[in-house]
Structure 1
């Protein structure tokens, strides 16, 4: 008969498992997960330790969905929704660190679902439990995820505040290169919003170099994508096109969920250069891959390009897409769509319609500026 293991022994191993998850070290995380699952069967009864295990299983799955969304070996495992039920049920009686993890991981899940306001709401609740977090890397994780969410809501100054705090910690820990690269992406995104494009390029070149050293397809694709976006903003569409094509090739080969987003940007650059035949092919691929990945946001964004460039401005179709984005508080995407539409009308000499969409863009920017009001509770 196997001896009964103390829950504290298993708890230490779960903590080690979480360290591997944060480092995106899939093989080590898989080994420790299997060891924890074996030892839990020999463990003395401990309700809170089992909750800790459920939380880490959920976080493990989020890591795998980010890195390797199509791996077949996970088909026998619980789904994210099943794990979500397990961590939601005991939430009311949790305090301190377990409550922090519960809220923080749920915020990460909502972010992955592109529910950015929901994500921020959970992060703000998690922040109230941050006093229980003594691990410096976990504090960096929190600041990174909060910065990422605020960046997507165009709360640029708030995002930059958090991401610089995270990067300061990651810079001192060479095991967290993945997070350092991701932090550079968030910094660059904020620099683009500030229109400091040259500063963005410097960080992206470092990010691409580090990504290639790791041989990490998703990060390589993201670095190339961001370089393409940077040159697009700088008014160099030909250079932008080259980087975006490279990014799309890597994303397609690795079957990354970022592909619909990348194809949207590539199609936009092609249409702006009046390469309509090539743009239409890329756009169709973007719509098909958005459907494949159940990416409702970039299905809408690619349908917008179809309405603007292929349907010769289906104004009602564009307005319907705008309404859906506004209902989801996706004002940064509303701003993007209204600007493209206004410019399209202006270039065609239809100044009244152009003015209408410029006004819509200003409304979206006003909503972005008021963004903090969305997160009060």
Structure 2
């Protein structure tokens, strides 16, 4: 099942979040344990997708409460993913303090860090710390995320890390353009839109506005 709001590139067409949610909630009376968790988790994903961030946090917290009663590595991975997604919701809602807290909690989960989700959390932690002007610590997480991205050949995260490094540390126009082209090629529109907006803000704040636009 879907583990994160940032799934890897799809090789086949998956049902939408609303379709999954409908299937689960049609059997609501029989839900217990792990299935109850997934019901709440998908509801949180759905509310996030609808930009209902308060509702998303509510359902993720309920899912977290259920997951904390589960046992084993799978439970620990689930808890890590929920903290990661709570961090995403908080970031999107502009609450960087809460976002930092939730990403730190996810990073504390060893079983979470042994999954593909680890690079996502490291990237988001670096991103949030950069936005919070905690540049030294942000750079440490940037390096950790980049090392893992290079090791796993994660082109998406290499591109995104290149962009945030350019925005907050040392701007490299050619590398930024190359990274944006990769995101565009892979149709990662949400990430593309978010990062181009940040690049636009960077150029505006520094007074270095490109003559022909960002792309």
Q: TM-score, normalised by structure 1?
A: 0.50
Q: Distance in 1 between matches of 2:176 and 2:150?
A: 19
1:34-58: CA deviation from partner (whole Å, max 9, x where unpaired): xxxxxxxxxxxxxxxxxxxxxxxxx
Give 1:218 shift: 1.3
Q: Specify the alignment match of 1:225 in structure 2.
A: 84
Give 1:115 shift: 3.0
Q: Specify the alignment match of 2:119 in structure 1.
A: 260
Q: Distance in 1 between matches of 2:95 and 2:49?
A: 17
State how 1:261-276 maps to structure 2 within 5 Å.
261-276=120-135
Would you say 1:307 and 2:201 are equivalent positions? no
Q: Distance in 1 between matches of 2:29 and 2:85?
A: 25
In structure 2, the CA distance between the partners of 1:174 and 1:241, relative to structure 1 (3 Å rule), is: same
Give 1:180 shift: 4.5
In structure 2, the CA distance between the partners of 1:214 and 1:326, relative to structure 1 (3 Å rule), is: same
Contact 1:217 1:254 in 2 (8 A): no
Q: Distance in 2 between matches of 1:252 and 1:275?
A: 27
The partner residue of 1:178 within 27, 34, 38 is 34
Aligned length: 209
Higher relative contact order (CA 8 A, sep 6+): 2
The partner residue of 2:23 within 158, 163, 166 is 166
Q: Distance in 1 between matches of 2:64 and 2:102?
A: 11
- Does the residue aligned with 1:302 lie in a helix, a strand or coil? helix
Give 1:171 shift: 2.8
Q: Specify the alignment match of 1:340 in structure 2.
A: 198
The partner residue of 1:281 within 115, 140, 148 is 140
Q: Distance in 1 between matches of 2:203 and 2:159?
A: 20
Contact 1:245 1:266 in 2 (8 A): yes
The partner residue of 2:105 within 238, 246, 267 is 246
Contact 2:77 2:112 in 1 (8 A): no
* Larger-gyration structure (1/2): 1
Which structure 1 segments of 5+ residues have no match? 1-21, 23-65, 67-110, 121-144, 148-158, 361-377
Q: Distance in 2 between matches of 1:180 and 1:173?
A: 9
Would you say 1:237 and 2:96 are equivalent positions? yes
Structure (1 or 2) with the greater helix fraction: 1
Contact 1:251 1:259 in 2 (8 A): no
Would you say 1:322 and 2:215 are equivalent positions? no
Would you say 1:115 and 2:4 are equivalent positions? no
Q: Specify the alignment match of 2:65 in structure 1.
A: 209
Give the root-mean-square deviation of aligned CA atoms: 2.8
1:221-241: CA deviation from partner (whole Å, max 9, x where unpaired): 111111112222222211110
Give 1:331 shift: 1.7
Q: TM-score, normalised by structure 2?
A: 0.83
Q: Distance in 1 between matches of 2:177 and 2:37?
A: 37
Would you say 1:146 and 2:15 are equivalent positions? yes
Which structure 2 segments of 5+ residues have no match? none
Would you say 1:194 and 2:50 are equivalent positions? yes
In structure 2, the CA distance between the partners of 1:264 and 1:354, relative to structure 1 (3 Å rule), is: farther
